[in-house]
């Protein structure tokens, strides 16, 4: 079961509890505009960190870091260690996402076309 505590109307801490044991602890932080900046989760000695950056009011970058699985040279992509950059058009519509692996190499590219509504 997950439990959250709140501070100033936003999630402050997260707990994943199984009977009497705390399995996961999470701490949330926000920027001056109230947007999520970072989530740090810890389970025993394993950590998961999600970091968020914003530009012109939009999410511009999300980074995931974890020490859950070792990252050797033969690892192509780690779902817990990567970065996604987001790009928007002048109407603030998402038009592109670039996913980078844990070594900073481009792994995937998603491009979106915005279609005008037809009435």
7 and 55 part of one domain? no
Range of the domain at 55: 45-119
Q: Would residue 38 count as lying in a domain?
A: no
26 and 55 part of one domain? no
Residues across the chain: 119
Looking at residue 69, the DSSP 8-state letter turns out to be: S
Apex 24 CA angle, 21 and 29, nearest 5: 140
Q: How confident is the model at residue 99 (pLDDT cuts 50, 70, 90)?
A: very high
Q: What residues pair up with 11 in beta bridges, in sequence order?
A: 6
Cβ contact 95:114 at 8 Å: yes
pTM for the model stands at 0.81
Q: Which residues contact 104 (CB under 8 A, 6 or more apart)?
A: 83
CATH (domain of 82): 2.40.128.720
Q: Would residue 104 count as lying in a domain?
A: yes
Q: Would residue 116 count as lying in a domain?
A: yes
53-88 pLDDT tens trace: 999 999 999 999 999 887 777 777 888 899 999 999
Q: Would residue 36 count as lying in a domain?
A: no
Q: Would residue 40 count as lying in a domain?
A: no
Q: Would residue 95 count as lying in a domain?
A: yes
Cβ contact 51:41 at 8 Å: no
């Amino acid at each position: 079961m997950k439990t959250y505590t709140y501070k100033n109307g936003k999630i402050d801490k997260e707990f994943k509890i199984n009977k009497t044991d705390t399995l996961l602890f999470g701490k949330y932080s926000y920027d001056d505009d109230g947007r999520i900046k970072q989530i740090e989760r810890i389970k025993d000695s394993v950590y998961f960190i999600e970091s968020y950056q914003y530009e012109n009011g939009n999410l511009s970058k999300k980074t995931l870091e974890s020490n859950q699985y070792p990252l050797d040279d033969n690892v192509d992509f780690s779902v817990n260690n990567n970065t996604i950059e987001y790009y928007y058009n002048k109407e603030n519509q998402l038009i592109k996402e670039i996913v980078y692996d844990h070594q900073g190499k481009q792994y995937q590219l998603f491009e979106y076309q915005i279609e005008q509504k037809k009435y």
